[in-house]
Structure 1
Amino acid sequence: MNLKQLSELLQLSQTTVSRALNGYPEVAEATRRRVLEAAQRYGYKPNSNARKLATGRAGSIGYVLPVGRNVDLDPHFVEFLSGLGEHALTREVDLSLTPAPRERESEAYRRIAASRSVDGIYLSSMRNDERRIALVRELGLPFVAHGRSLMPAEGYAFVDIDNEGAFHDAARLLLQLGHTRLAFINGDTDFTFAVHRLDGVTRAMAAHGLPAETLKHHSAAMNEDNGYRLAMMLFRDADAATRPTGVLSASMFMTLGIVRAFNQLGLKMPQDVSIITHDDVFPFLKPESFTVPLSTTRSSIRAAGARICERLVNIITGAETGEVQEIWPVDLIVRASTGPAPSARKPGRRGAEQAAE
């Protein structure tokens, strides 16, 4: 089916159908959906070269992929990319990856802008002092950020989760269960998400009269080896009277290492130590699959990828204007890895569920 036949079938002009397929904002949403559904049903595929000539767009969104000896592309990125790719497919948009070491990142953005190989880009792994925002603005590249920066904190479009609120609620649950000796095995605090999570934990502690200095806080790249190393450092030589009884973990992958350390040291969850971790959204690593099901804070990384793609395409086409800042709430899921602190345990107490109520 060609454009003329599709237009006649829908009783719309070829211009309207073309504009609907290419995401022009002046087309009503109901018309856009009708055209897209008919194109899919009848197998209409627009000529990509003709579309690029007509719209002046590349039909692609871009990402500068960090590479190098000290860069770990962890499963968080793969899960995010899956969601982004699924939505890109529905919008007939390609994804272009430009690999670059961190020290040559600005060169990559300048090369992308000069070649006009993409219509827009997304930024991720937002650092506390995020210099890429000023750079892509200078280059005139439409963009949306996954996450946010401490500086600048405003003035750009982003999608983020409420990291501070998530870890505030997790820490508050442990405190309500009587845990006063807390440890937080956090992500790298060069990145804003980790700073926000630490702020949430210390805010919950302050509300319970505990100074931030009493928190045993360690930050590192979020992988199993670091989780194991830091947990062994915290627990191996500590006696029962001084070691943490409540642990917060920034990632399921860190928690793999933490639980391995607990098993080696003979520590039982939640009798000896309670733990709450983040990200129970991986289909290949479920919190219920652990020997003791893990309490978690949860927000879908795949859904965030889809939303980033949706918003970036809307920004490119003009369907979204302004600098909308979107912060998603995070769920706290209580499972068997959290219970009363050893010193607070009483006969007949129902444990984590009672505190959560």
Structure 2
Amino acid sequence: MNLKELSDFLKLSPTTVSRAINGYPEVSEATRKRVVEAAEANNYHPSHLASGLAKGKAMAIGHVIPLSKHMVMNPHFSDFISGAGDVYCKAGYDMLIRVVAEGEEESVYKKLAKDGRVDGVIVHGPSNYDARIEALQDIGIPFVVHGRTNQDESTYNWVDVNNVRAFKRATNYLLDLGHRDIAFINGFEFMNFAMRRRSGYEEALHEASIEINPEIMFTGEMTEPQGYESMKQLLKRAKPPTAILLSSILPSMGAMRAVQEAGLTVGKDVSIVTFDDQLSFLQNSGDIPMFTSVRSSIRDAGVRVAEILLDQINQPKADPYHELWEAELVLGKSTGRPVSV
């Protein structure tokens, strides 16, 4: 039995039946009881879409992804979506993913809001200054940013890892081992997370009175080939660095490949510290993990961002919510004291 059939059976409007099932106070207790008993007797189970319509909601969350950032092909995005999707499913929400050309996000947000297609959106991969923040604030649709920008972060909802502290801690760990020539392979630094990671690396070197050397610092898309090509360049130097700090486990795999091709040993001849997001398809695990890493689960971040967004949808007048996570330093096989020490 569907909603219309149940409504006809009870000789009530579909709106009244839906509101009765969902506990709206304007429906009398007697009517609510009659509707609930009839629904149970006739094995009627309301869809979340029907429930959403009764509550004036779309029961869907939007993810608008610009093509230029390759987010859909990014395994980090896949893990995030896995975590967020679990939350949506349990709460009866659908997920709407819209892939658009760069620069078209704002028009898509406006259309989604105007058409009532989604109740809120997640902002992925924020840049240092991100026009999407002000656009969504102007539109008035609830949103949560996975990460932060350099804009006033008190005015919007966000969940982020303390990237500055994580990379300062990782750099200090290498310094404590005796390394002084520490290279850095980062993501694109117009992305806010990458800018903060560089800041942590540079702060540690500055406090250790070590001169920052731009020639052993690389930025780019965090892929296995990026790590491989960057590592090959570093090994060609007259004095190669003894340690490398990388922004993702993916380029770290490439860096390891380059080190091994050169006949060297990771953890002995070259130390590697990575940022490991505990990717579902590439676990840095075991009693002694392959890589020393600063670790934060991106799947857990997806869960938390989704939870916060649903809270904001249900409490639209609530103040912006912020959550800053600390990364865990996990020691693995990829680090050791430099050979000369």
Per the shorter chain, which TM-score range? 0.7 to 0.9
Higher Cα Rg, which structure: 2
Q: What is the letter of the counterpart of residue 266 of structure 2?
A: M
The secondary structure found in structure 2 opposite 1:154 is helix
The secondary structure found in structure 2 opposite 1:287 is coil
Q: 1:211 Cα deviation (Å)? A: 2.5
Q: Under a length normalisation based on structure 2, what TM-score does the superposition of the two structures give?
A: 0.84
Report whether the alignment pairs 1:330 with 2:327: yes
Q: Which residue of 1 aligns with 2:241?
A: 244
Q: Distance in 2 between matches of 1:17 and 1:331?
A: 46
Q: 1:69 Cα deviation (Å)? A: 9.3
Question: What are the within-5 Å matches in structure 2 for residues 250-329 of structure 1?
Answer: 250-288=247-285, 293-318=290-315, 321-329=318-326
Q: Distance in 2 between matches of 1:256 and 1:231?
A: 11
CA RMSD, Structure 1 to Structure 2 (Å): 2.6
Q: Which residue of 1 aligns with 2:184?
A: 184
Q: Distance in 2 between matches of 1:175 and 1:215?
A: 19
Q: 1:218 Cα deviation (Å)? A: 0.7
Compared CA separation, residues 151 and 69, structure 1 to 2 (3 A): closer
Q: 1:254 Cα deviation (Å)? A: 0.8
List gaps (5 residues or longer) in structure 2: 7-17, 25-42
Q: Which residue of 1 aligns with 2:87?
A: 87
Per-residue CA deviations over 1:169-204 (Å, capped at 9, x if unaligned) read 100000001100010000110100001000111111
Q: Which residue of 2 aligns with 1:197?
A: 197
Alpha-carbon contact 2:146-2:160 (below 8 Å) kept: yes
Q: Distance in 1 between matches of 2:168 and 2:23?
A: 46
Q: Which residue of 2 aligns with 1:165?
A: 165
Alpha-carbon contact 1:314-1:320 (below 8 Å) kept: no
The secondary structure found in structure 2 opposite 1:323 is coil
Q: Distance in 1 between matches of 2:165 and 2:113?
A: 37
List gaps (5 residues or longer) in structure 1: 5-13, 21-42, 345-357
Q: What is the letter of the counterpart of residue 183 of structure 2?
A: A
Q: 1:18 Cα deviation (Å)? A: 2.5
| Number of residue pairs aligned between Structure 1 and Structure 2 | 309
Q: 1:16 Cα deviation (Å)? A: 9.5
Question: What are the within-5 Å matches in structure 2 for residues 92-171 of structure 1?
Answer: 92-171=92-171
Per-residue CA deviations over 1:134-165 (Å, capped at 9, x if unaligned) read 10111111111100001243311100111111
Alpha-carbon contact 1:276-1:337 (below 8 Å) kept: yes
Q: Which residue of 2 aligns with 1:59?
A: 59
Alpha-carbon contact 2:142-2:312 (below 8 Å) kept: yes
Alpha-carbon contact 1:280-1:296 (below 8 Å) kept: no
Alpha-carbon contact 2:276-2:284 (below 8 Å) kept: no
The runs of at least 4 aligned residues of structure 1 exceeding 4 Å deviation read: 1-4, 14-17, 68-72
Q: 1:271 Cα deviation (Å)? A: 1.5
Q: 1:111 Cα deviation (Å)? A: 1.5
Report whether the alignment pairs 1:18 with 2:17: no
Q: Under a length normalisation based on structure 1, what TM-score does the superposition of the two structures give?
A: 0.80
Q: Distance in 2 between matches of 1:293 and 1:205?
A: 25
Q: What is the letter of the counterpart of residue 170 of structure 1?
A: A
The secondary structure found in structure 2 opposite 1:221 is coil
* Percent identity between the two aligned chains: 33
Q: Distance in 2 between matches of 1:280 and 1:336?
A: 17
